[in-house]
Amino acid sequence: MRLLYVTNGFPPTALGGVEVYTWEIARAMARRGHTVWVFCRESDFQRPDYELIRDEVDGLSILRVVNDFKKAHRFSHTYVDDRIEEIFLGVLREIQPDLVHFQHLIGLSARLPRQARSLGIPVLMSLHDFWPLCHRVHLLNRWEQPCPGPFQGGDCVICVRGPRSTSRLHSLLRAIKPWLPTPIFSWIMRRIGGATLASWDEVNQKDFQERYEIFREALMSCALLVVPSAFVREMFRQNGITQPEIRVLPLGISLPDSKTVPDPRDPGERKELRIGYIGWFGSPKGVHLLIEAFRRIPDEGLSLHLFGPIYESHPYYRWLRELGGIDHRIVFRGPFAPENRSWIYRSIDLLVIPSIGPETFSRVAREALVHRVPVVASRTGALPEVIRDGVNGFLFEPGNVESLFQVLQRVVRRPSILRELDVPGPAQILSIEDHVQALERVYREVLSTGGRTCQR
């Protein structure tokens, strides 16, 4: 098959979850004998927008189109772009793929799937997050509270623009920002809700209705939509996306060698119970809740190890350091190389995922489980699909420090409870190879229909 992947970025210049996933499956498909191209958005402020860069990564042909919204002056320019569509059309005619698999459209244009389908090319799309429904991507509003989506009561205008009084304040802040000390500016933004100064003061409900319709047309152009969890499928269904079929296909992860996974441990035999967090330090991840709950437990035989990229200048990270105070039991360990993953999981007894925002999959939960590390997770998004309360871990109410504290205290009082859990448990955990094989079967199914909507 001649396969074209379309995504919002690609290694080595972009290393987010979707970008790395696209890199993994593109390489795997090439190893399986398919001819693979990648078309992606590239961020490069040293180059003009719309420059097309031809690149090669791991033997894959990469076409990177620069887009940093340097000349965007309308709200619609954040999700549709005539110039990118023109470039993409040229790419389609040049390489003539058998199938186009869209991974993400952010930084590109929502009309690209319709373009490919108009040329008779079969199209499918993976929905890794909620960009087609939510301008803020993750269905978290400007106050970082979960949003049910535009069809279920979410107010996109208020979320992006803020109340009219707040919007006027944003305009004033944009004018005086250069003269405001950074700590004062950051404090004001936390108080009014929103980390950035949105420039779309005049955006209204009609604008968001137009945005929704354009994305709905894009999804309707696909033969099939692929999602990593039942939660994501349900959120799209509840928000009006009922066609085409939305099929759940869990992502694959790198499974450890059985020799590197220790036998179940009894933390009660150890002098110290080691709790871990693995991820990025952003407020939707709820790391502050974990630190607050942890500090309420005075036990000296307890330690908290926080792994993730460290940005000293980021206000949230600095706040976490302040929350941790001088508690010597809390250690910020920084990031770790992928090859050290098994060693990291062997170094902790319990992983905590304190997310406030709805997780669409959670790779880290599965990694912990296959390394036989129980998980405590917030009861949000797709997390309950992999963590069963009292089976392979414990769940607590999202955003609730007291609920998390009660779970941690229960474990601290009787650490042997961790050994009584069934880890990894009943959740379906696929290897990357299993996932790619399933995806290849999906491709053949789509091609067999000529790109028409798949039916089950």
DSSP string, 294-327: HHT---SSEEEEEES---TT-HHHHHHHHHHTT-
How wide is the angle at C-alpha 11 spanned by C-alphas 258 and 216, nearest 5°? 100
Domain ranges in the chain are 2-138+207-250+432-448, 150-192, 258-428
Taking the C-alpha atoms of residue 40 and residue 121, their distance in angstroms, rounded to an integer, is: 18
Taking the C-alpha atoms of residue 344 and residue 346, their distance in angstroms, rounded to an integer, is: 5
Q: Are the beta carbons of 240 and 219 closer than 8 angstroms?
A: no
Q: Are the beta carbons of 312 and 226 closer than 8 angstroms?
A: no
Q: Are the beta carbons of 125 and 113 closer than 8 angstroms?
A: yes
As a whole number, mean pLDDT of residues 63-75 equals 89
Look-up of token digits 């036989």: 372
Taking the C-alpha atoms of residue 189 and residue 196, their distance in angstroms, rounded to an integer, is: 8
Taking the C-alpha atoms of residue 336 and residue 309, their distance in angstroms, rounded to an integer, is: 9
* Higher per-residue confidence, 184 vs 368: 368
Q: What are the backbone dihedrals phi and psi of residue 57, each rounded to the nearest 5 degrees, phi first?
A: -135, 120
Quote the DSSP letter at residue 393.
E
Taking the C-alpha atoms of residue 69 and residue 71, their distance in angstroms, rounded to an integer, is: 5
- CA nearest to 6, candidates 300, 218, 154, 167: 218
Taking the C-alpha atoms of residue 381 and residue 393, their distance in angstroms, rounded to an integer, is: 16
Taking the C-alpha atoms of residue 142 and residue 383, their distance in angstroms, rounded to an integer, is: 23
**Cβ burial 382-403 (10 Å sphere, 16+ → b, else e):** bbbbbbbeeebbbbbebbbbeb
How far CA 144 is from CA of 131, 133, 176, 246, in Å, comes to 16, 16, 25, 27
- 230 pLDDT more than 80: yes
Structurally, what CATH architecture does the domain formed by 258-428 represent? 3-Layer(aba) Sandwich (3.40)
Name the band, by pLDDT with cuts 50, 70 and 90, for residue 257: confident
Indicate the Cα dihedral angle 320, 326, 332, 333, nearest 10°: 180
Look-up of token digits 């002056």: 73
Q: Is the peptide bond before 12 cis (omega within 30 degrees of 0)?
A: yes
Q: Are the beta carbons of 250 and 126 closer than 8 angstroms?
A: no
The model's pLDDT over 103-139, given as tens digits with 9 standing for 90+, comes to 999 999 999 999 999 999 999 999 999 999 999 898 9
Q: CATH number of the domain at 2-138+207-250+432-448, please?
A: 3.40.50.2000
Per-residue model confidence (pLDDT) at position 194: 45
Per-residue model confidence (pLDDT) at position 200: 54
* Higher per-residue confidence, 158 vs 232: 232
CA within 13 Å, CB half, 194: 17
- CA nearest to 291, candidates 277, 279, 301: 277
Per-residue model confidence (pLDDT) at position 455: 56
Name the band, by pLDDT with cuts 50, 70 and 90, for residue 163: low
Question: Residue type at 65?
Answer: V
Average predicted confidence (pLDDT) for the chain: 89
Q: CB atoms < 10 A from the CB of 252, how many?
A: 23
- 65 pLDDT more than 50: yes
- 259 pLDDT more than 80: no
Here the tokens at position 369 are: 């489980």
The model's pLDDT over 284-338, given as tens digits with 9 standing for 90+, comes to 899 999 999 999 999 889 999 999 988 888 899 999 999 998 899 999 999 988 8
The model's pLDDT over 187-214, given as tens digits with 9 standing for 90+, comes to 555 554 444 444 555 788 899 999 999 9
- CA nearest to 161, candidates 209, 132, 194: 194
CA 181, distance to chain mean position in Å, is 32
The reply to whether domains 2-138+207-250+432-448 and 258-428 share a CATH topology is yes
Positive or negative torsion for Cα 426, 431, 309, 259: positive
Taking the C-alpha atoms of residue 51 and residue 40, their distance in angstroms, rounded to an integer, is: 12
Taking the C-alpha atoms of residue 56 and residue 62, their distance in angstroms, rounded to an integer, is: 5
Classified as helix, coil or strand, 371 is: coil
Q: Are the beta carbons of 345 and 322 closer than 8 angstroms?
A: no
As a whole number, mean pLDDT of residues 391-415 equals 96
